Chains A and B, each alone.
Chain A
Amino acid sequence: MNPDELKIGSGVEAGVFEMGHYDSRFDSLKSSNFDPRALWERVDGDAELLRELVELFLNECPGLLRNIAAAIEQQSFDDVRHLSHKLKGSALQLSGSGVAALAGSLEQMGEKKSLQGADRVFSDLQQKAAALAQSLQSLAGRKGSTE
């Protein structure tokens, strides 16, 4: 597993929708991993805020994934727990339930000081994070690179 393989573009272009109005076309981004409408409602239709949050996530996520991978490799339970918790929190706020669930699983492993199966979970997490980043970029108005 190489965290650097995860490529998430950073930066968000100007909004593609009007403030306060949700475009139902974004429903196409809805999946078990992501709920665009829930996120839209959470930010109360504030596109600027949405872009800010997405940008923060895109900036933060690769580093977090790298650090989680390193912590798993080093069997550093506390770091696994803490970093996964942080990623989970961010994902939850961005309605990324798939990423949040996987990050939560890793957090539990760190909590229980047992990283058995963590590699497989992390692998899934990487994929889901990349997908979430993609969806967020789409929602925020810029298509980003995930590869």
Chain B
Amino acid sequence: MTTLVMETRQAKVLSVLLVEDNLIDARLVSRFLRGPSETLECKHVGRLGEALEVLKTAQFDVILLDLNLEDSAGYDTFSRILPAARTAAILVLSGSDDEELAIRTVREGAQDYLVKGFFDGRLLLRSIRYAFERKRSEEALRHSEATVRAIFEHSLDGIAITDDRAVCAEANSAAAELVGLFREKMIGASLFDFGGEDLESEWRRFLQSGQGRGRFWIRREDGAKRLADCSFNANILPGRHLLVLRDVTDQQNLEEQLRQSQKMEAVGRLAGGVAHDFNNILGIISGYAELMQINATDEAQKARAERVLSAIEKAASLTRQLLAFGRRQVMSPKLLDISTVIADLGGMVGCMVGGEVQLVLHGASSGMVHADQGQLEQVILNLAANARDAMPNGGVLTITLQGYTSNAPEHQVPPGDYILLSVADTGTGMDLDTQSRVFEPFFTTKKTGSGLGLSTVYGIVKQSGGHITVDSEPGVGSTFSIYLPRVAHGTVRVERRKEDRPLHLQGNETVLLVDDEDELRNAMAEYLESCGYHVLKARNGREAIEIADQYRDKISLLISDIVMPKMNGRGLLDHIRKTRPETNVLVISGYADDAVIRHGIYLEKTCFLQKPFTFQLLGAKIRSLLDK
């Protein structure tokens, strides 16, 4: 006897429901099912109604179904039992050798159609086992297909299946969204309709290599461009290729912003560091130049010292801009209404841009920001000066102020409420390459520019917690947009510029002067002594504490650098505040806010002078502190 599949040791015991009203058929089939081994359990019912009742409470692996029963006949019998027996393999046992009926039932889900009198026990058992296995495979396939379909439908990535010419045979909603079409319209469309040359070259590469990853731009119907990452798999079926598409436009933009931001941060740190060291050197030169000026025996000597000091002022101006870009300027932020600042500056801006440029100011008070007024003025003046230079033959300079709320996380500006200050010109504009470098220090397109104007603006905006963007088109013009966080409440304080006043710099108080730069310390001491002060000199914080602790008389003023070896300015200041609370403090540093704030010294409680400074300014500061 031929070995039957069901005789294998691992064969599952199948449960069979026999629906048969003919007793001879039923008896014969039952006997067949008893078979050579105990691998089938059979239940027999004679009517369809009975079968449907049984199926409400029990599941069967296989149903042997006679189509012509007392209560049902033909295809109707099959179609009525089918919904009640979705998981069972149905085998039709019919007395009718009806080809059409056989095909119809098999097409609708029957696993086989056997004609009575033309099968024996072995054939029936084999058919039952095969029918069960086929059904099981179909179910597994159905589950797998349902899973794949669900993934396909709900994937956040676009999925498309195309032919060799990139025509979409299938596409999910995400793919349709990526190209900006309704899904129905995408089916039958070629991906080449949405891509440029980069897609076509990627496509050729994909087909040659069989699989791989790539990136190309997609032009949406609405004109927008989206960058897509693509994973490609050729011939998942003959002539059918799978593309998984991910929209990485926003990610790309964010990465570019981050790269730009990191670059600016690094350049800023470098610029700030150089400026700090340079300021110290300038301080020494400036100090001795002033001493030369003070002690000059004739006018010629005095004039030469004057020229040195003038050159130093120019150098100091450069380092100040570098410090601004490096965000190491000392800020004195206040609640400001920018509209008032602009109104005050309007005249000056008008004069600066000249008669050929029409100045338009838009926008009233839109709320307040927390910023340094002087720095904000510098920002507006720098942008206006650039705009003027971009419009050599005249044009329109528009300064606009308005409220702005950012909601979209992917926008260049994080979500929040802002005051938007935009400065727009109708000048020469910039190409993309220039735009990407415009805030770099020393980058300039002008013959005589320092390349520090916009980098200073950038540094000030960032230091103020704001954001700056540029939109420009060659030949059309440029718009710089500055977003400063809007402050909910507060009172407005706009300081009017103070007129220069004559200064009285003489004094006889005792001053403790602390700086690790020997030359600068000595120059300052010489100057202060020439003004009549009694100067105690120290090279660092520890030495200053020793001097202060041993000195019995009053010390009216401590002048101290911040970053020093052995003991920094903060330790010294804490000690002096504790032991000599009456002593005034003047902090001097070439490395302003960052170091000052990091060392825990709050400028509201001390007075600060950024190196380099003139001795005249130092003298005035001292008097303003001591005469309070």
- Hey, which bits of chain A sit against chain B, CB under 8 A? 41-44, 46, 49, 52-53, 56-57, 60, 81-82, 85-86, 88-95, 97, 100, 107
Which residues of the other chain, B, contact A42 by a CB distance below 8 angstroms? Answer: 28, 120-121
- Hey, which bits of chain B sit against chain A, CB under 8 A? 21-25, 27-28, 31, 66, 68, 70, 73, 95-96, 115-118, 120-121
Which residues of the other chain, B, contact A52 by a CB distance below 8 angstroms? Answer: 27
Distance in Å: Cβ of B360 to nearest Cβ of chain A? 94
Tell whether, in the assembled complex, residue A89 and residue B24 are in contact, meaning their CB atoms are under 8 Å apart.
yes
Distance in Å: Cβ of A32 to nearest Cβ of chain B? 15
Q: Is the interface of A mostly helix, strand, loop or mixed?
A: helix
Which residues of the other chain, B, contact A95 by a CB distance below 8 angstroms? Answer: 117
Tell whether, in the assembled complex, residue A92 and residue B31 are in contact, meaning their CB atoms are under 8 Å apart.
no
Complex-state Cα separation, A44 to B203, whole angstroms: 65
Which residues of the other chain, A, contact B21 by a CB distance below 8 angstroms? Answer: 86
Closest to B30 in A: A49
Complex-state Cα separation, A100 to B117, whole angstroms: 10
Beyond A46-B31, A82-B68, A97-B117, 5 additional pairs, beta carbon < 8 A: A42-B120, A43-B31, A60-B24, A89-B117, A90-B24
Tell whether, in the assembled complex, residue B117 and residue A92 are in contact, meaning their CB atoms are under 8 Å apart.
yes
Distance in Å: Cβ of A44 to nearest Cβ of chain B? 6
Closest to B117 in A: A92
Complex-state Cα separation, A53 to B24, whole angstroms: 6
Which residues of the other chain, B, contact A53 by a CB distance below 8 angstroms? Answer: 24, 27-28
Complex-state Cα separation, A89 to B21, whole angstroms: 10
Distance in Å: Cβ of B160 to nearest Cβ of chain A? 52
Which residues of the other chain, B, contact A60 by a CB distance below 8 angstroms? Answer: 23-24
8 Å CB contact of B68 from A44, A85, A92, A93? A85
Tell whether, in the assembled complex, residue B27 and residue A56 are in contact, meaning their CB atoms are under 8 Å apart.
yes
Which residues of the other chain, B, contact A86 by a CB distance below 8 angstroms? Answer: 21-22, 68, 95
With A43-B31, A88-B95, A90-B24 known to touch, is A82 a contact of B120 (CB < 8 Å)?
A: no
Which residues of the other chain, B, contact A41 by a CB distance below 8 angstroms? Answer: 120
Distance in Å: Cβ of A74 to nearest Cβ of chain B? 18
Of A43, A89, A92, which is in contact with the most chain B CB atoms at under 10 Å from its CB? A89
With A42-B28, A49-B28, A60-B24 known to touch, is A92 a contact of B120 (CB < 8 Å)?
A: no
Tell whether, in the assembled complex, residue A85 and residue B23 are in contact, meaning their CB atoms are under 8 Å apart.
no
Closest to A61 in B: B24
Which residues of the other chain, A, contact B116 by a CB distance below 8 angstroms? Answer: 89, 92-93
Which residues of the other chain, A, contact B27 by a CB distance below 8 angstroms? Answer: 49, 52-53, 56
Complex-state Cα separation, A89 to B120, whole angstroms: 14
Closest to B115 in A: A92
Tell whether, in the assembled complex, residue B96 and residue A85 are in contact, meaning their CB atoms are under 8 Å apart.
yes
Which residues of the other chain, A, contact B95 by a CB distance below 8 angstroms? Answer: 85-86, 88-89, 92
Complex-state Cα separation, A22 to B121, whole angstroms: 17
Which residues of the other chain, B, contact A44 by a CB distance below 8 angstroms? Answer: 120-121
Closest to A90 in B: B24
Tell whether, in the assembled complex, residue A93 and residue B23 are in contact, meaning their CB atoms are under 8 Å apart.
no
Complex-state Cα separation, A53 to B21, whole angstroms: 14
